[in-house]
């Protein structure tokens, strides 16, 4: 139902501390790259969705600023926010308008400038991502505190250790070091991570994704047009979206994000993927590693690993290239960086390049099955989006 939709262009700015550019300039870096990649012009874009969380930004209406600077007036636009999954929400909405025939070409543009604000402001804002009134203001829970609850529950139930969590960061830094656009291009070892200071026990500084400035853009086109624009359209095979309770105290448990499971199952159904054995379909995945524990939960919530098994996967390097399924070859949020509103487009964009076999050799997954998956979480499973890409039209 609806038209088939393909990714025809992707772009990403260098991630990091980008005080060298303002928000519009930063965004233009990825828009320009995506337009060039697609071989289209601003006038060809029927509508663009801007993803941005940015309560800390001086520009409360980023879509307006971007439209003027990027030469996109008078194209229709709106900003979308789904916390750290804003970018995937933007891709979904752009997808839906192309699939419905409301647009032939639509663009999802994500941007975040987090270094504009002092860190305490950011910590407060992100801490409010759950339920401000109850869990932030009354109980003082900040965002690392939320994920620490999941980490301790997982460690308790399955015997995982702090060193196991550290191994996720080691992998993601290993691949980040090989991605020229990553924020951290340095390998790291378990000792270094274990020696870093606690943010919210058991999570230490190097278990956490950083404060990042960056932008990423994905251009989507309808079937016939996509085939004209590129020899390697990357089709959207399925999208799932779900939400979780705002208060963590209303969750059923702390070793799984229920919204992620629901979103994955939705996407699997649309893409005709067996939810009992999803990894046999995918060459590569990007998952939401805002904290190291989040990547471990993702393996299980997606059905890649069985419950309690992900920690073994980490120990056995099953998500490196050559393992069961390579994950976060971009460096992940941990090393590539996590500019909140741009993370979804960056994940999906990087996977499109993986499927097109255009990333740096040392982090290129072997492409044999032709499918990839992006798992993008907002808040602590408050939002979840799963996007499945395919070289074959599904």
- Tell me the closest approach of the beta carbon of residue 284 to its own copies, in angstroms: 24
99 burial type by CB count under 10 A (0-12 exposed, 13-18 middle, 19+ buried): buried
State the residue for tokens 């291009």: 185
Active-site hit among 95, 173, 288, 338 = 338
- Tell me the closest approach of the beta carbon of residue 47 to its own copies, in angstroms: 6
306 burial type by CB count under 10 A (0-12 exposed, 13-18 middle, 19+ buried): exposed
- Please list, residue by residue across 355-383, b when 16 or more beta carbons sit within 10 angstroms of its beta carbon and e when fewer do: bbeebeeebbbeeebbbbbbbbbbbbbbb
- Tell me the closest approach of the beta carbon of residue 249 to its own copies, in angstroms: 11
Pairing type for strands 234-243 and 198-200 reads unpaired
Rounded CA-CA distance 86/49 in Å is 10
Residue 302: CB atoms within 10 Å: 27
Pairing type for strands 105-113 and 47-51 reads parallel
Residue number, 174 or 383, with CB nearest to its own copies:
383
Residue number, 12 or 57, with CB nearest to its own copies:
57
Given a contact cutoff of 8 angstroms between Cβ atoms, the answer to whether 214 and 339 are in contact is: yes
Site residues, its own copies (CB under 8 A):
1-3, 22, 47, 53, 55, 58-61, 63-65, 67-68, 72-83, 86, 89, 92-93, 95-102, 125, 128-133, 239-247, 250, 258-259, 262-263, 266, 378-379, 382-383, 385
Active-site hit among 84, 173, 288, 375 = 84
The verdict on whether 208 is a catalytic residue reads: no
CA angle 339, 341, 343 (to 5 degrees): 60
Residue number, 63 or 374, with CB nearest to its own copies:
63
Given a contact cutoff of 8 angstroms between Cβ atoms, the answer to whether 27 and 86 are in contact is: no
Rounded CA-CA distance 326/155 in Å is 23
Residue number, 166 or 248, with CB nearest to its own copies:
248
- Tell me the closest approach of the beta carbon of residue 66 to its own copies, in angstroms: 9
HSE-up (13 A, CA, CB side) for residue 31: 27
The verdict on whether 290 is a catalytic residue reads: no
The total number of residues written for the chain in this structure: 394
**Contact partners, residue 383, CB within 8 Å, separation at least 6:** 82, 83, 84, 85, 89, 241, 242, 243, 244, 259, 377
- Tell me the closest approach of the beta carbon of residue 260 to its own copies, in angstroms: 10
- Tell me the closest approach of the beta carbon of residue 63 to its own copies, in angstroms: 7
Residue number, 232 or 245, with CB nearest to its own copies:
245
- Tell me the closest approach of the beta carbon of residue 245 to its own copies, in angstroms: 5
Residue number, 206 or 385, with CB nearest to its own copies:
385
**Helical (H) or strand (E) element with 318:** none
Residue 246: CB atoms within 10 Å: 17
Phi and psi at residue 173, in whole multiples of 5°?
-70, -35
Residue number, 186 or 272, with CB nearest to its own copies:
272
List, by residue number, the catalytic residues: 84, 338
């Amino acid at each position: 139902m609806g038209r088939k939709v393909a990714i025809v262009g992707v772009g990403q700015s260098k991630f990091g501390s980008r005080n060298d550019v303002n928000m519009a300039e930063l965004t233009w870096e990825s828009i320009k790259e995506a337009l060039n990649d697609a071989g289209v012009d601003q006038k060809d874009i029927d509508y663009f969705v801007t993803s941005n969380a940015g309560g800390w930004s001086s520009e409360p209406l980023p879509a307006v600023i971007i439209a003027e600077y990027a030469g996109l007036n008078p194209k229709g636009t709106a900003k979308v926010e789904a916390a750290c999954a804003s970018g995937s929400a933007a891709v979904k909405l752009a997808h839906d308008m192309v699939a419905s025939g409301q647009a032939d070409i639509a663009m999802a543009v994500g941007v975040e400038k987090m270094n504009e604000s002092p860190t305490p402001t950011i910590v407060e804002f992100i801490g409010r991502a759950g339920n401000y009134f109850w869990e932030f203001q009354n109980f003082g829970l900040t965002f690392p505190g939320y994920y620490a609850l999941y980490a301790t529950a997982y460690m308790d139930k399955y015997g995982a250790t702090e060193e196991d969590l550290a191994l996720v960061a080691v992998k993601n830094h290993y691949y980040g070091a090989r991605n020229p656009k990553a924020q951290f291009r340095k390998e790291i070892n378990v000792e270094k991570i274990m020696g870093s200071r606690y943010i919210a026990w058991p999570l230490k500084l190097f278990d956490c994704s950083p404060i990042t400035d960056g932008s990423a853009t994905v251009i989507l086109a309808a079937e016939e047009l996509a085939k004209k624009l590129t020899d390697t359209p990357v089709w959207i095979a399925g999208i799932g979206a779900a939400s979780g309770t705002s208060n963590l105290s209303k969750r059923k448990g702390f070793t799984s994000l229920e919204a992620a499971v629901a979103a994955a199952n939705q996407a699997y159904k649309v893409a005709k993927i067996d939810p009992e054995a999803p990894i046999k379909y995918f060459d590569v995945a990007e998952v939401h590693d805002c904290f190291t524990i989040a990547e471990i939960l993702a393996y299980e919530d997606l059905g890649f690993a069985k419950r309690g098994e992900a920690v073994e996967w980490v120990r056995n390097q099953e998500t490196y290239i050559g393992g069961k399924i390579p994950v976060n070859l971009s460096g992940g949020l941990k090393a590539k960086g996590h500019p909140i509103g741009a993370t979804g487009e960056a994940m999906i964009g990087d996977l499109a390049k993986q499927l097109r076999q255009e990333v740096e050799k040392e982090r290129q997954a072997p492409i044999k099955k032709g499918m990839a998956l992006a798992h993008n979480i907002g808040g602590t499973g408050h939002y979840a989006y799963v996007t499945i890409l395919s070289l074959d039209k599904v």
